[in-house]
Amino acid sequence: MDTPTSGPGSILLRERYRPTELIARGGMASVFRARDEQLDRDVAVKIFQATAPGQIEVGKQELKVLASLTHHALVPLLDAGVDHSTPDDPHIFLVMEYVQGTDLRRKLLEGPLSPRQVAYFGFDLAEGLEYIHSRDVVHRDVKPANVLLVEYSDDDVRPRAKLTDFGIAVFSGAQEAIINGRTVGTAAYLSPEQARGEPVTPASDVYSLGLVLLEALTGELAFPGQPLESVSERLARDPRIPDTLPFGWDVLLSAMTAREPADRPRVRDVIVSLRSLVVEELGKHRAANTQPMPVVVSSATQLTVPAILTTEQVSVSQFPTAEEREEARLAAVKRYGSLDGVADSTIERVAGLAARLLGTPVALVSSVERDVIRFRTNLGLDLDEVPRQPGLCSTAIERSTPLVIEDTHLDPRSRDNQLTLDSGMRFYAGAPLRTREGFALGTLCVLDATPRTFSADDIATLEDLAALVMNDLELRLDAQLAGRTG
C-alpha cells in the first residue's frame, strides 16, 4: 500500500514524520509505522485517503475526539496535520503513539486466549471505555482489530491493552451515523440498537466489548456470516455462551450482551466483575504453582454414592457426573456434621483470626447442605442459616481457589443473594473447606459492609486459615472414628 503520493519513506510529513512501513489499511485510512526524525523515535501515522466530504468529516471527528482524551488504555494523539505533498489532493493525518505488539484480531488467529489473559485486557478496555463515557464519548467500533496488545516484556504475566481508532466515535445520544447508505461500524460487533439505526449510548460499547471478550475466550465469532446475516441474527437471539467457560464469565457475558440496552450492566459494574475475575485467576495461578492437596483414592474403583457413608478412602474423582459428585459431597457433609456437638473453640478462634488479619467485621464458617447453608461460627453476624442460593458460599465450594466478590451489589453473580441482602454486606471472600478426599464441605468466608479489593497475599491468608479449619475437623473426625473402633 502506498502513501497518498508514493511508497513509504519517500515523503516527510510536516518535515518530521517519515512513513516507513504499512501496519494496517482500512476503508478510509492507512496506518503506517513512521520515524519521528526530530525526536528519533517510532510513531504511528494514520493517513486518511478519503476525499469525499462525508469521509473527510470522519478524519476531522477522530482528530476532535482524540485531542480531548488521555488515558492509559487509549492510544494517545501526539500530533496532527494535513499532507500537501500532492497540492490538489490533500490528506488529513494523525500521529499517535507506536504500540509495540499486535492487535487482538491477529492474536486470535493463533487460537483463543486464557481466561487470565482475557480478564486482564478486558479490565483495561473497560476502564478505557469508562473514561471516554465520562467525557460523553461513545466509541461505536469496539472490535479485535481496534484492540492493541502491548508488549512491555517477553512474558504475558500482565498483558495490557489499548483501544484505538476513534474515527466513528460520537457523543453519547447521537443518532447512529449512516455513510454511503450503510450503518457505520463493523457488522460482527454492532449492538442491536446500532443495527437498528437508533441513538447510541455507552451501553452499545458494553455490548460490543462483551462480544470481543467472548470471541477471545472461544476463538469464534458470536455472529459469523455476511454483514446482513450477522446483523439480522443478533436482532433475533442472544449470543451463545458455552457452559464450559469458567464460573463468572457466563453470567457477565450474558449480561453484557443482553439485547436491550437497559438490561446491560454499567461499565463500572463490568470493571468490578473483571477485577474480581483477575483476582480469581491470580488465585488459580498461585494454586497451580504450589503443591496440590493430596487426594486419597481407594483401590475399590466401583464404589457407589452410598458407600461414602461408611468408607473413608474415596475421592471425588470416582464420581463421573455432577449429580453423583453432589450426592457424595452431601454424604461427606453429613459425616462431618456428626461433629456438631463438639466444641468449636478452635474454629471460632480461626474465624476471629481471619477477621483480624483481613480487616473485616464478619467471619463465617459455613456448611453447604442440600437446601440450606448453616454457619458453624458467625462472628459479627447474628445469622445461623440462609437458604442455599447460587453465588457466594454455594459457588465457592465448586472452586479450587477462593471466590472474591469486591462489591456484591454490583457484581451480577451475587447481587440477589440473601446472605448479603439481609446483612447489608458488600464484600465477600470465601475459601472452600475441602476434605482429604477432595469434597468441599463449606467455606471459611469473610464479609465487609464496604466494597474493597483483595490482594494475592489476602487470598493466600484466607486459604491458609481455611486449611487450619479443615485440619481441626479432620483431627476430630479421626478421633471420633478411633473411639468407635477402640
CB 392 within 8 A of CB 429: no
* Rounded Cα–Cα distance for residues 375 and 450 (Å): 22
| Positions of E strands within 318-402 | 362-368, 372-379, 385-387
Burial class (CB in 10 A: 0-12, 13-18, 19+), 122: buried
DSSP E strands in 315-435: the ranges are 362-368, 372-379, 385-387, 403-405, 427-434
List the catalytic residue out of 103, 124, 141, 165: 141
Q: Please, are residues 7 and 20 in contact by the beta-carbon 8 Å criterion?
A: no
- Is 89 labeled as catalytic in the residue annotation? no
Task: Count CA within 13 A, CB hemisphere, residue 192.
Answer: 16
Residue-wise over 281-305: b if at least 16 C-beta within 10 A, else e? bbbbeebeeeeeeeeeeeeeeebeb
d(CA 119, CA 140): 21
For the chain, helix (H) and strand (E) counts, in that order, are: 13, 18
Q: Return the closest-CA partner of residue 459 out of 284, 290, 291.
A: 284
Q: Which residues are catalytic?
A: 141
